[in-house]
Amino acid sequence: MWLAENWKDYEVLDTSDGEKLERWGKYQLVRPDPQVIWNTEKKLPGWRKPNGHYHRSNKGGGEWEFHSLPEEWTINYNSLTFHLKPFSFKHTGLFPEQAANWDWFSKLIKEAGRDIKVLNLFAYTGGATVSAAAAGASVTHVDASKGMVTWAKENAASSGLADASIRWLVDDCSKFVQREIRRGNKYDAIIMDPPSYGRGPKGEIWKIEESIYPFIELCSQVLSDNPLFFLINSYTTGLQPAVLSYMLHTVLDPIHKGKIEADEVGLPVSSNGLVLPCGASGRWTAL
């Protein structure tokens, strides 16, 4: 398992009964987690009165309960600064487990010895974008939500990257890649973090089980002749690491020889030393 174990401003304090207790900077949140199917005694005081608690409804969705939590605050990861705020369906605007991937590809970019162009698809609030830019890459950031792209720009500015080589685009990822193929534009690295289900800005429907493989095939057409890496993230239960590995193998191996790895991504749990699984990633790296 690939662990995001280098955080100082974030930690999973404890897990029990379908929930996790987390520290985000100086604030503690309780949020649902479908992986937490065990029930242990909730000894830590944060369980009893956290700064924020997302209560899931039996009818779907849920709502936040707040205790002395600001509308927005920031946390740091190395030189990066991320804006956080509780919003729809338990989210805060950051997936901290992805730091395991940020560290991995940042090292590749720094050691490449050449200019690297990165395409970040379904780019959300820009954790991967600012990480790649901080490592020295030129990044094209694509997300269908204007609000998420605005949030990502704020994270870049707070991280000292307001003038970095980042192209911000509000667009349907599939249609954007199709246009890049027609324009002949190429990228040395691709990052994708597709949702299980989503809609584009014009109502385009995305279902990951039906869409992900043809989308990987499509994206392979915008890889440069000397690509550096290809990263796929998945939070969908049915897409196990072996599935991600197989897709990368069947699409990329015929055209670009490289090393393919896939594994779960996880966060250490402070109270017991165990690891909370947080989805899976597939990585292709040039040999």
What pLDDT does residue 200 have?
Answer: 65
pLDDT of residue 197: 79
pLDDT digits (tens, 9 = 90+) for 255-276: 999 999 999 999 999 999 999 9
Fold observed for domain 2-84: Immunoglobulin-like (2.60.40)
Q: 19-62 pLDDT, tens per residue?
A: 999 999 999 999 999 999 999 999 999 999 999 999 988 877 89
Residue 197: CB atoms within 10 Å: 12
- Residue 272 CA to chain centroid, in angstroms? 25
Range list of H helices, the chain? 99-111, 127-134, 146-158, 173-183, 208-220, 241-252
**DSSP per-residue string spanning 259-273:** EEEEEEEEEEBTTTS
For residue 22, the surrounding DSSP H or E stretch is strand 19-24
All structural domains of the chain with their residue ranges: 2-84, 98-286
Q: What is the CATH number of domain 98-286?
A: 3.40.50.150
Minimal CA–CA distance to 282: which of 240, 224, 219? 240
Pairwise CA distance, residues 133 & 176, whole Å: 21
Please tell me the distance from the alpha carbon of residue 44 to that of residue 184, in angstroms, as a whole number. 56
Q: Which pTM value belongs to this model?
A: 0.94
| Total residue count of the chain as it appears in this document | 287
Residue-wise pLDDT tens for the chain (287 aa)? 999 999 999 999 999 999 999 999 999 999 999 999 999 999 999 999 999 999 988 877 899 999 999 999 999 999 999 999 998 789 999 999 999 999 999 999 999 999 999 999 999 999 999 999 999 999 999 999 999 999 999 999 999 999 999 999 999 999 999 999 999 999 999 999 998 877 766 777 778 888 899 999 999 999 999 999 999 999 876 689 999 999 999 999 999 999 999 999 999 999 999 999 999 999 999 98
- Half-sphere exposure (CA, 13 Å, Cβ side) for 185? 13
